[in-house]
RNA sequence: UGCCCGAUAGUAUAAUGGCAGUACGACAGAUUUUGGUUCUGUUUGUCUUGGUUCGAAUCCAGGUCGGGCAACCA
């Protein structure tokens, strides 16, 4: 018996539209403005738009909303396409709002001819002043009653470029007393003598979002135009243009954007972090951008699962970043090969193991897989690097690791018994000494000895040195954007910790960007595609493993 | 003192007039050659006041709280 999965409100609307025959199939679109890199919030929108089309056998366009040449660049177009593909989606049509400039100009002329638009010579201060406020009505512009012929002539002259920036605008003639500010004669076109990333110098007038977006949707026969909640009050205007133009009736629906705690999610703020050098760029592994998450070692699968789990609604929400981390651990646990790496090394000397001898032990690559992902060979010898935190001279209660007299299993090798330690002049432990039990070799242990703890290690003469980069949350505060003042004051100064010289098992020298590893007991790591060199990978830590021991200690 | 939207465990999300369920988290236990994974159990919720109804998280009214709207940005 299969469980019925409940529908979100958009799926309900679509099923109703399909059931009543309003549409035979649906068509959605993902409409980024190419003025920044995509972030995890966009992933929610991408998964929604493409997911809906997949589910109901429809189509999804990728459309760049490039109506403001001041902020938009081709670099962003390329990164957006890369990120959408990486997430696992392929679009049907690839369009640019700028492709529609001639058509939009023609639509605008239609509105003028029908008395629905006029050219206004007021400057921006005058327009703002006459617009009124949310609690007081606005006043009509003195240019509101120009003749259709004059409006047509002036609008053409605006297009010809004979007026300077800001000299005139085209406005829709709606209602300066409307309680909805967006209906108080909104601006449709403004003059900008600025080259556009695609149309160059061809145009010097550019349509505003409200006039361009719905009309672009209509041109593409978009049935369900999905955007975020802040555009809700724009919907009456969206419909007004379409109604007055009599074109394909696309409809706008809004959902709540994603907010994640301990980070910021606005392109403006992310751009500030990049421009002020507070991060290493849009793809800094601490950034919530898709390129940052990718570099950090997040998988597309984990992000899609995350978007599925958080759901779609119309109420404001702040998702705990812990859920994102759960999703990536879930996926990485399944696919990442296990390796051993020592982040904070201390030397372990096995005093009863022959000097100069090396033997090979076998280690399974992934215990989650049917065949354990195969096995690999590891060199084992008398001197090993182990984690400094795995030894305590005076053990805590319930301590399962090394302490004088205590036994632990060296993962994939022998059980050893701790005999003591060597300290330097300052009393700092520099070596741990132990003896091994030859009959306890992994795979052929008939000793019957059971130990509570198993620790990871790498052979001193065979280990490779490598740089590891550990990341923590970018901000100290749950909602850095909520407070008054500068959000950048809440940056976490310890969000990046560089370990210049960790010791890794030798096979890792061949690790390449795009591969996922679990360093046993330490976390998931992936080679950094910018910092790694041939044979010398630098690793980013994607996320730690859950650590119940550390949690217990905190209490 | 305008208009629009919203409110279910700590965080999200279901229940579409009929037993308030699920995930993450937290807590406890089992298993484990990763204090990982897996498994089991426990915990915590319908903003408020009325109304309609045999029956309300759901419908209606008032209130409270939260978000959005006054860019020639999107």
Domain final position from A403, A435, A456: A456
- C1' of B31 to CA of A367 (Å): 15
Q: Which nucleotides of B are covered by protein (CB under 7 A)?
A: 1-8, 10-16, 23-27, 33-38, 66-74
Q: A164 and A90, same structural domain?
A: yes
Q: A205 and A166, same structural domain?
A: yes
Q: A94 and A202, same structural domain?
A: yes
Q: A351 and A314, same structural domain?
A: no
Task: Give the three-class secondary structure for A101.
Answer: helix
Whether A5 is in a domain gets the answer no
Domain final position from A434, A456, A478: A456
Residues of chain A with pLDDT below 70 are 1-4
Whether A2 is in a domain gets the answer no
pLDDT in tens, A337-369: 999 999 999 999 999 999 999 999 999 999 999
Q: A274 and A207, same structural domain?
A: no
| CB atoms inside a 10 Å sphere around CB A134 | 7
Whether A277 is in a domain gets the answer yes
Long-range contacts of A358-367 (CB under 8 A, 24+ apart): A358/A459, A358/A461, A358/A462, A361/A412, A361/A413, A361/A441, A361/A442, A362/A412, A362/A442, A362/A443, A363/A338, A363/A411, A363/A412, A364/A338, A365/A337, A365/A338, A366/A335, A366/A336, A366/A337, A366/A338, A367/A338
- C1' of B56 to CA of A229 (Å): 29
- C1' of B12 to CA of A233 (Å): 26
Cβ atoms of A290 and A39 within 8 Å: the answer is yes
Q: A533 and A408, same structural domain?
A: no
The model's pTM: 0.96
pLDDT in tens, A451-498: 999 999 999 999 999 999 999 999 999 999 887 778 999 999 999 999
For the domain that residue A434 is a member of, what is the CATH number?
Answer: 2.40.240.10
The range of the structural domain enclosing residue A541 comes to: 267-337+466-554
Positions of A marked active-site: 33, 257, 267
Q: A98 and A237, same structural domain?
A: yes
Count of domains in chain A? 3
Q: A240 and A91, same structural domain?
A: yes
What span, in angstroms and rounded, lies between the C-alpha atoms of A153 and A160? Answer: 10
What span, in angstroms and rounded, lies between the C-alpha atoms of A8 and A23? Answer: 19
Nucleotide nearest to A71 (CA to C1'): B73
Q: Which residues contact A423 (CB under 8 A, 6 or more apart)?
A: A429, A430
Nucleotide nearest to A546 (CA to C1'): B36
Q: A373 and A307, same structural domain?
A: no
Q: A117 and A17, same structural domain?
A: yes
Domain final position from A427, A456, A485: A456
Q: A471 and A452, same structural domain?
A: no
Complex-level ipTM beyond the 0.90 threshold: yes
Backbone angles phi, psi at A548, to 5 degrees: -70, -25
């Amino acid at each position: 018996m299969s469980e019925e999965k409940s529908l979100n409100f958009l799926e309900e609307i679509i099923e109703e539209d399909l059931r009543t025959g309003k549409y035979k199939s649906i068509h959605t679109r993902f409409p980024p403005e190419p003025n920044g890199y995509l972030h995890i919030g966009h992933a929610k929108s991408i998964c929604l738009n493409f997911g809906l089309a997949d589910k109901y056998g429809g189509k999804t366009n990728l459309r760049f909303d490039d109506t403001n040449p001041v902020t938009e660049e081709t670099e962003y177009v390329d990164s957006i396409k890369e990120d959408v593909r990486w997430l696992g989606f392929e679009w049907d049509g690839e369009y640019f709002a700028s492709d529609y400039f001639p058509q939009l100009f023609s639509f605008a002329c239609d509105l003028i001819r029908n008395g629905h638009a006029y050219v206004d010579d007021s400057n921006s201060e005058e327009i703002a002043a006459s617009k009124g406020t949310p609690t007081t009505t606005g006043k009509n512009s003195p240019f509101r009653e120009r003749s259709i012929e004059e409006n047509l002539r002036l609008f053409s002259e605006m297009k010809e470029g004979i007026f300077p920036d800001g000299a005139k605008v085209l406005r829709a003639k709606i209602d300066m007393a409307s309680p909805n500010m967006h209906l108080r004669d909104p601006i449709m076109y403004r003059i900008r003598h600025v080259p556009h990333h695609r149309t160059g110098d061809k145009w010097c007038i550019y349509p505003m979002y409200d006039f361009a977006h719905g009309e672009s949707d209509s041109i593409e026969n978009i049935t369900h135009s999905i955007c975020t909640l802040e555009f809700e009050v724009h919907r009456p205007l969206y419909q007004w243009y379409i109604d007055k133009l009599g074109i394909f009736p696309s409809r706008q629906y809004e959902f709540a954007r994603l907010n994640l705690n301990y980070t910021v999610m606005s392109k403006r703020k992310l751009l500030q972090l990049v421009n002020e050098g507070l991060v290493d760029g849009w793809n800094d592994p601490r950034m919530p951008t898709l390129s940052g998450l990718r570099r950090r070692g997040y998988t597309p699968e984990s992000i899609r699962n995350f978007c599925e789990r958080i759901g779609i609604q119309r109420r404001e929400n702040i998702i705990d970043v812990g859920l994102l981390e759960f999703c990536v651990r879930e996926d990485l646990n399944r696919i990442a090969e296990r390796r051993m790496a020592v982040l904070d090394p201390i030397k372990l000397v096995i005093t009863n193991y022959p000097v100069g001898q090396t033997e090979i032990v076998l280690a399974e690559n992934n215990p989650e897989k049917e065949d354990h992902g195969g096995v690999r060979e590891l060199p084992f010898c008398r001197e090993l690097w182990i984690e400094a935190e795995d030894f305590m001279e005076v053990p805590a209660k319930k301590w399962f690791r090394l302490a004088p007299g205590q036994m632990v299993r060296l993962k994939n090798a022998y059980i050893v018994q701790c005999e003591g330690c060597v300290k330097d002049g300052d009393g700092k432990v520099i070596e741990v000494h132990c003896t091994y039990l030859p009959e306890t070799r992994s795979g052929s242990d008939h000793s019957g000895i059971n130990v509570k703890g198993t620790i990871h290690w790498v052979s001193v003469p065979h280990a490779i040195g490598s740089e590891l980069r550990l990341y923590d949350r970018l901000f100290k505060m749950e909602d850095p954007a909520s407070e008054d003042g500068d959000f950048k004051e809440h940056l976490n100064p310890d969000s990046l910790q560089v370990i210049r010289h960790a010791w890794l098992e030798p096979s890792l020298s061949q690790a390449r960007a795009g591969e996922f590893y679990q360093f046993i007991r330490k976390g998931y790591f992936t080679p950094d595609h910018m910092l790694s060199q041939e044979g010398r990978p630098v690793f980013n830590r994607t996320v730690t493993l859950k650590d119940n021991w550390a949690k217990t200690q905190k209490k």
